[in-house]
Structure 1
Amino acid sequence: MAKFRTKARAVDHLGQGQIADLPTAICELWKNGYDAYAENLSCDLFQEGYKGLDSPIFTLSDDGTGMSEEDLLGKWIVLGTDSKVRGPQALSEEERLGKAPRIPLGEKGIGRLSVAYLGSPMLMLTKQKDKRCQMLFIDWRILSNFNLYLEDLDIPIRSLSRSVSLEDSLQELIDDFRANLALDIWQEHRSLNRAIKQALKSITLPDFLTTDYLSSFFEKEYHGTTFIIFDPHPQLLELSIEGAWSDKTDETVKYLRSSLNGITNAFKGEQQLFQATFNIHSDTGSYDLISKSLFFTREDMFAADHWLTGQFNEDGEFKGRLQVFNQNFEVFFRPNRPPGPTPYGPLKIEFGFIEGDPKNSKLKREHFDLLARKGMNFGGMYVYRDGFRVLPYGRTEYDFLEFEERRSRSATYYQFSHRRLFGYIEISRENNPNLIDKAGREGFIANKADRDFRKDLKDFFIDLAVRYFRTVNEGETPTAREQQVFDIKAKNAQSLAAEKKKSKQTITKFKRELKEYSEDIDKLSLSTNGLYKQLSTEVKKPKIVFSEAECLVEEIQRNKALIKRLRLSNPSRIILTESLKARYSEYRTNFIAAIELVDKCDVLIGELQSRFSQENLEAEFTRRLKSYQSDLTTTLNRYKKRIEKSLDPILDKIKSDINDISGAFAFDTGKLALPNSNDDVDYGLLLKNLDVLYQAFEKQLEKKANLW
């Protein structure tokens, strides 16, 4: 009877060949870490030059359950295992590291092969708690030999022993792997054979890696898995700290950031089951490419100009709450489809949306700019299944709901923009089984569930735009956005005019003070320099006349006080002309020189006073005490007048803000009032919306208080 035989390159097709791109490969391995109950998932790229590295090294790690030798032999190197499909009930509490059961994210049993995409050769270290660490080595390039059958390939595995170093254990594994290169099947792949052999000669573990990152594998209590890639994927080598820090971030960094940020649903604001990092290490420092501070928060979503929260039921009907600027609405939407359950199932949706022009936004300019920057890097609708992001949804270039295509036909009608909208669609393996990942993990299979999912969501956003956001024709009833945007634009214009007026007043005052202070500094510096020369002469005298010295010190102290009053700061939020910058720089140089001169005088005064009698020192103390008291009183009175002069408009602004906030809260809560009809009322949704409304006003009040 005939039997199937499998060429080794089939593994290559199932691994690299089935993975869409580098971020997808990383996500697949992180999913495996999540399924292994890890709390920390990390990638680390150690660049050439870091702690003496001759060539880059890449690692991917998790602190999950790890694997035993039996797991490696019976699961990891067995393709298509069903251990995850059996579900979380198959694991005991001890195997789950004491954590609550998690819904497995992987189910095909080939996600582990994603590691081949990261580069080659590869060393894997994996350890279960209270068990010895297991090491596995492979150079994935060997799979390119189409004469090699899987049963002919020997993958070396060893248990780590304290009596043998990590480096020695690695070299033993490499020696075992070399046996695969001695087979008589390499005649047609001699150049590949030579390349692999040459690469194996140079593989070594750097000291910092074994000491700082891998030493835990010797500890009894430790558990987890680490992959070490000795020749990382070319796309990884394009990354750099300089590129990540730059304002003009390169496309590789942008692509990885938009793909790996938000790997868990930060929009929900809940405590995450795990933390993910992607650190780049170079001789100039370290940088986390996907720091949480870069991504959106739940507060961002509900601080936007407009936001929506609600759910689609199993029949595709949406019910939820929409806020357009400062107005709240109960929203109901029924898709144009036959009655009955949808093929895609129920789902939750929440998003925020900002205006395209800051003049039309209710947000302060700084806040608007922050959300706009985040939108440029991470804007879009994300999809999360059981809390884990589904790629490529959410990538800035992947507009799967075709917002920009509709805007190209009419931006004023369709309104929503892919990069100005940020939020999520939540699905689950249990409720949405027909939304199935493609083999390459680049989105859902294009079945009926996926087609209806997209169509109904597109229709939903069109319906929202038509009812609440579009610009209507003359004579039509304006939408909620149109009703408010005129007032918001007028208010922003008024604020801008006031800001410009204030800026003009500030710059006028700054110019005047800069001129006066510069002239006074020159005069006082000249005077103080003369006093310094006199003081130098006085100190050198064999006998000091106290009355003369006292007058000299008093004049210097007076100049010192006057100079310190001439400190002039660059006004904030004002852009100086090049001419003003030059004049201010000259002033700063002269001011610092004057301060240094009085400091030199203080040194000589100290020498002079050391020769005063006790009686003279007492007199000097009394004189200086009165002088300081008088100076402080004068300064306080000057500040008092300045504060009183500026306090009236501030108090008026506070009164106005209090009235505005109080009135707006009463207005918005009035819209939450229960309807008078006999329809069922969703009290849970009303309470949730009331909480959200209160929190938004509370944050607004805190910001106002900080400004006050």
Structure 2
Amino acid sequence: MIENRPFATRARTVDHLGREQIADVPTAVSELWKNSYDAYASNVTMTLFQDEPLMVSLLDNGQGMTKADILEKWLVIGTESKVDSDGSTHKPLFGLEYRPKQGQKGIGRLSSAHVGPLLFMVSKSYASSEYVALLIDWRVFQNPYLILSDINTPILTAQDLDEVFEQLPDLADALKDNIAPKDKTNDDDSVKAKKARIREAWKLYDELEVSADHQTKTTTSDGQKNEIPSQSPSEKILKAIANSKFSQSFLERWEVAEGTSDHGTALLISDTNEVLEALLRGSEDEDRQSFVRTLIGFVDPFEKRDDPASDVVDTMSPRLELDYSVDVVKGADKENVISSRSEFSRSITDTLEHVIDGRVDINGVFIGTVKSLGNWVNDGRPITIEPPDDFKPPKGPTTQLGAFDFYAATMEQKRLNTTHTDSEFSYIDDGKFNVYNGLRVYRNGLRVMPYGRPDTDFFEIEKRRSMRAGTEFWNERRMFGRVGISQLSNPNLRDKAGREGFIVNTASRSLKRLVVNILMVSARRFFGSYSEIRKTEMPEINKKNREEKAQEAAREVAAKNRRQFRKNLKEQNKILPTKISEMRSRMSDFVIRAASDIPKGQELVEEGRQIIVAASVPGKPRDLKSLEDEYALYRSHISSVNEVVSDFSTELDKRINEIDPPEPWEILDKQLKRQQGRLSSRVTKWSRTIKNLQDGEGSRVGDLISERNKLMFRDGSIIVEQVRENRMSLVDASKAMTSLWQSIDAENEDIFENYIFALESLTESIDLQTIALVGEEENAELRSEVDRLNSLAQLGIAVEILGHELKAYDNMIGRGLDALPVGLRKDERVGGQIEMGYHGLTQQLQFLAPLQLSGEKLQRRISGVEIFDYLGKFFGPILDRLGVEFEASDAFKEFSVYGQPARLFPVFINLVNNSQYWVSHGGGPEKKIHLGVAGGRVIVSDSGPGVNEDDVRYLFTLFFTRKSSGGRGIGLYLCRANLAASFHEIAYVIKQDEKILPGANFAIKFKNADFSGNN
């Protein structure tokens, strides 16, 4: 006989699918945020309240839910309707772009159990005026003796939030019926049986959990040990429900409660996971750091942010209008732990010296751009990385890997090797690598866990680096990057139930292999020790950095000297008036009557001169600036001391001659002993200071030598071990050992040779401090002089251009005056006054006074459209007269850069002025000047004859010109100088396929330019 029976589902199935499937608390939070994303929220927040018990609020402004939504979807496990049949495409998107569903299994809501057991949810749907709320304690589902139908979830509806919280006690009572149901007179037999079954299930579960070995010991005030039985599960739940403190105060930041939105969902979670207590501790706490590293970058910070009008839109990481934050509230204080508004973004990582950015197509071919050691490879044009030779792209419907984006950026680990400035290097190196680092994976712009976390090395970056650090180059802990996939292009990349990465299948294996291939090939071709770029560029970079390091050291010495000088100056100005007054009083009261008084008088003179010596303020900088008045006062005090001592010394000499002591050698001998004592006292003081410094330095150098001596053996032993374990061939290991030796030896030479040079200089009495100070002051003076000459030269160019235009206007006005009637021209009140006034004006303009070279260097964002409009007004008349067409592309108008208008505008004036000259003197029938953008550079091009190939090398040198008249050869020189002052670069475009117009094309590479149009 056949009997049909359905599956019976135990209540703990919910616990298995929810709490036990999620790896940790931050992963659980990310799952809940993804639910908010699916509900078209634009703002999600998490707030931890330091209360007893701890309370967490998770708030969003998504679509919200009606009672029917909760009954038919939220309370139905595995049915979240993640396909279009859920009607999401027909629901309002609140001005947002369509979002492919992130959820796959319909169990993400259960992850709230990992945050805390007691959940109070309030939701307000855009489609209803009602609020709906429910109360759940997820611990109920841990009881193995309950079946799922035994458990009820109490739900209420209300017209406003006040009513919701007024009914909250009734919800609590209803929730208790799942643990300790009370019999009612109107219960029928089936209801009575169910309640009896529930009570029996909790009795069995409590007995199971509380046994003889579950006793806790406490110590009473008299020192006696008491054993108190552990609380049973049912007691814990009932107590938590009774002690819950859900209130509207926890909804202060909810837009629905604030009245700024009529839809959204709020989760209030009590008895939160103890891991969240780490957020209450300092930023150095390891658990807190782990929490931050997991949730920071929840939304892809490395999206391309392409021009929306462009055909090339980054579909893998769309622009997500989703703000998120994590805050901690302690009483009246609030601390922001994570915020999307302060994320470390691509605008920063794109400026790093090593960048690889592109897309892998369905055949596994990477096409993108690469920057190595600060320069774009192949002038920024696309490069290709082929997949491994034995890679065959999977094409099956369940195995195919679609296209995906790849982006990674980093910088050199050692300051000596980097092309970055000290401030840029420090900004990234000091802390950024510890928080935002890692190669993450994003699906449709949201982070896929756990990729990029310190304990995850899915792409085996650290494993390969441990074998061949120099060759492999990439370091998970010192790189920023992401793999961007989309749900549409890669449906076969599915998450494991516990969000512990992708399900291992053909697609995920292919993804891993292709990413690993990109990392390995790029390391060898562009970044690592085998890269020809590194071999060619690194010696020059090392040399430059050594020079900059020396210059920085000199500046530090100069700055330290100035600080010390200022301190000493103020101190002497404070104490000298008192000393002068005391010395003047003592000298005026002293009377020399006999030979025995002479030594005392000499001692007074010596004390006065000692005041001058002690008041010495060494290290006076050449430019006193704000210290001018302070130094003048100091010099006045010293003059007063000199005057007092000189007057007294003159009087003493006079009295000595009058007294004519009988034994003068005795007086002189006393003077010798006194002055010897003063010298010995100062030398002894210096010697103690020197000895203390020598002892400390000897200890430091000893430790340094010991550390450097251990490096080769320590790192070399790792290579030996890899050969022993057959993880590296002998040939590769030998090369790696040699490379390690050369690297350590070079570092040792840099450290110890410089140290020895400094000691040798000291033994030869070479004053290193004075050398540094003089050198830095001379450099500063030269830089200032260059700035003054540069500004003056710019003034000359501007006056020259104006003079050129005035000649044209002079001809125009002259012809106009000639055209006036004879009578009117001869009338002094009309023609005479106009002519005299004009000629007087032109004479005055020829003698323009020099512009002030001081003043604040104002910086602001300058847009391409502003530059184009300015040039149009500046050159408009002459271009119209010459018939030259002046145009700018949309890309140029949308470009912007942060800088000084006084530096950037003259650059474009010079370039356009040159173009209009050559277009009119040697160009073809088409006369055109164009401002455009190509390859991340601004291009100023014209239709003129262009620059002779032999002349290109001299273009930016001073006084070089090919103009037959009116050219002085300083315009392009100043263009480069102005741009270099802000770390921009200019070059002449030689290759024909890179030119916009056939004539002269000048390319400007602006540092941190924005080409997105967000001016």
TM-score norm. by structure 2 comes to 0.52
Asked if 1:332 is matched to 2:643, the reply is no
Instruction: Give me the whole-angstrom Cα distance separating, in 2, the residues matched to 1:645 and 1:367.
Output: 23
2:101 to 89, 92, 104: 104
Aligned counterpart for 1:274 among listed residues 316, 322, 332: 322
Decide whether the 8 Å contact of 2:365 with 2:385 is kept in 1: yes
Q: Partners of 1:175 and 1:519 in 2: how far apart?
A: 80
**CA displacement at 1:399 relative to structure 2:** 2.3
Letter of the 2:351 partner, please give it.
Answer: A
Alignment partner of 1:11 is 2:14:
yes
Q: Secondary structure at the match of 1:266?
A: coil
**Structure 1 counterpart of 2:173, from 172, 175, 181:** 175
Q: Given the superposition, is the C-alpha separation of residues 380 and 187 from structure 1 closer, same or farther in structure 2, using an over 3 Å criterion?
A: same
Would you say how many aligned residue pairs link Structure 1 and Structure 2? Answer: 567
Once residues 40 and 663 of structure 1 are traced to their aligned partners in structure 2, the CA distance between those partners, rounded to angstroms, is 38
Number of the residue aligned with 1:365: 422
Aligned partner of 1:23 in structure 2 is 26
- Aligned partner of 2:730 in structure 1 is none
Would you say the 8 A contact 1:122–1:139 is kept in 2?
Answer: yes
Paired position in structure 1 for 2:297: 262
1:138 aligned partner: 136
Note closer, same or farther for the CA distance 1:88–1:523 as it changes in structure 2 (3 Å cut): farther
Give unmatched runs, 5+ long, in structure 1. 49-53, 473-477, 530-560, 568-578, 580-641, 677-682, 684-689, 700-708
Gap change, CA 1:220 and 1:258, over 3 Å in 2 = closer
Are the aligned partners of 2:356 and 2:371 in contact in 1 as well (CA < 8 Å)?
A: yes
CA–CA distance in structure 1, aligned partners of residues 454 and 322 of structure 2: 24
Whole-angstrom distance in 2 between the partners of 1:285 and 1:566: 50
Pick from 174, 186, 201 the counterpart of residue 202 of structure 2. 186
Matched-pair contact (CA < 8 Å) for 1:66–1:128: yes
CA distance in structure 2 between the partners assigned to 1:218 and 1:518 by the alignment: 59
Cα pair distance change 1:451/1:174, threshold 3 Å? same
- Is 1:201 equivalent to 2:242 in the alignment? yes
Cα distance, 1:214 vs. partner?
A: 6.1
For 1:138, the aligned partner's letter is I
Partner of 1:696: 1007
Cα distance between partner residues in 1 of 2:50 and 2:629: 55
2:108 maps to 1:128: no
Aligned equivalent of 2:358, options 282, 291, 310: 310
Question: Which residue identity lines up with residue 517 of structure 1 in the other structure?
Answer: K
Distance of 1:283 and 1:222 partners within structure 2? 29
- Report the residue type matching 1:234 in the other structure: E
Specify the alignment match of 1:321 in structure 2. 369
In structure 1, the residue matched to 2:150 is 152
What is the CA–CA distance in structure 2 between the aligned matches of 1:65 and 1:311, rounded to whole Å?
34
Cα distance, 1:40–1:320 mapped onto 2, change above 3 Å: same
SS in 2 for 1:429: coil
Secondary structure, aligned partner of 1:310: strand
Q: Tell me if structure 2 keeps the 8 A contact 1:162–1:218.
A: no
Query: TM-score, with normalisation over the residues of structure 1?
Result: 0.73
SS in 2 for 1:303: coil
Conserved 8 A contact 1:521-1:566: no
The one-letter amino acid paired with 2:550 is A
Which whole-Å CA distance do the structure 2 matches of 1:78 and 1:387 have between them? 28
1:125–1:225 contact (8 Å) kept in structure 2:
yes
Which shows bigger deviation, 174-183 or 511-520?
511-520
> What is the percentage of aligned positions where both structures have the same residue?
29
What SS is found at the alignment partner of 1:105? coil
Equivalent AA in structure 1 for residue 387 of structure 2? P
1:137-166 Cα deviation digits (max 9, x unpaired): 011111111111111111100012449644
Alpha-carbon offset, residue 109 of structure 1: 0.9
In structure 1, the partner of 2:563 is 510
Kept in 2: contact 1:661–1:697 (CA 8 A):
no
2:384 maps to a residue whose letter is F
Hey, what's the Cα distance between the residues in 2 that align with 1:361 and 1:80?
52
Equivalent position of 2:478 in the other structure: 420
Looking at structure 2, the residues matched to 114 and 186 of structure 1 have their Cα atoms a distance apart, in angstroms, of: 24
- 1:460 maps to 518
* Distance of aligned partners of 1:186 and 1:512 in 2 relative to their CA distance in 1, 3 Å threshold: closer
Preserved CA contact (<8 Å) 1:32 1:106: yes
CA distance in 2, matches of 1:430, 1:76: 25
d(CA) in 2 for partners of 1:502 and 1:663?
A: 20
> Relative to structure 2, which stretch is displaced further, 285-294 or 221-230?
285-294
Q: Alpha-carbon deviation of 1:461?
A: 1.2
Identify the match of residue 279 of structure 2 among 218, 239, 255: 239
The structural deviation recorded for 1:31 is: 0.7
Partner of 1:544: none
Match of 2:38 in 1: 35
CA distance in 1, matches of 2:566, 2:96: 66
2:250 counterpart SS class: helix
Contact kept, 8 Å, 2:366 with 2:385, in 1: the verdict is: yes
Look up the SS of the partner of 2:282 in the other structure.
Answer: helix
Q: CA offset at residue 293 of structure 1?
A: 6.2
* 1:471-486 aligned within 5 A: 471-472=529-530, 479-486=532-539
Per the alignment, residue 223 of structure 1 pairs with 263
Tell me by how many angstroms 1:260 deviates. Answer: 0.6
User: Could you tell me how far apart the structure 1 residues matched to 2:85 and 2:162 are?
Assistant: 38
Distance 2:74 2:422 in 1: 53
Rate the CA distance shift 1:525–1:161 in 2: closer, same or farther, 3 A. farther
C-alpha offsets along residues 631-679 of structure 1, whole Å, 9 cap, x if unaligned? xxxxxxxxxxx999955324548878647589984569768x7499xxx
AA aligned opposite 2:783: P
Q: How does 1:352-431 map to 2 (within 5 A)?
A: 352-372=409-429, 373-431=431-489
Residues 538-582 of structure 1, C-alpha deviations (whole Å, 9 max, x = no match): xxxxxxxxxxxxxxxxxxxxxxx9679889xxxxxxxxxxx9xxx
Aligned partner of 1:586 in structure 2 is none
Say if 1:70 and 1:207 are closer, same or farther in 2 by CA, change over 3 A. closer
| Mapped partners of 1:368, 1:155: distance in 2 | 56
Relative contact order higher in (CA < 8 Å, ≥ 6 apart):
1
- How many angstroms apart in 1 are the aligned matches of 2:632 and 2:145? 86
Change (3 A) 1:316 1:308: same
What is the alpha-carbon distance in structure 1 between the residues aligned to residue 988 and residue 282 of structure 2?
45
Partner of 1:118: 115
Assess if the C-alpha contact under 8 Å between 1:383 and 1:393 holds in 2: yes
User: 1:303 is matched by which residue type in structure 2?
Assistant: T
Structure 1 distance, partners of 2:263, 2:71, is: 18
| Secondary structure of 1:243's aligned partner | coil
Counterpart amino acid of residue 334 in structure 1? E
Partners of 1:501 and 1:487 in 2: CA distance: 21
Partner Cα separation in structure 1 for residue 25 and residue 557 of structure 2: 52
Task: Give the direction of change, closer, same or farther, for the CA distance of 1:160–1:293 in structure 2 (3 Å limit).
Answer: closer
CA deviation profile, 1:87-146 (whole Å, cap 9, x unmatched): 68644243x334332111112111111111111211001111342111100111111111
Partner of 1:57: 55
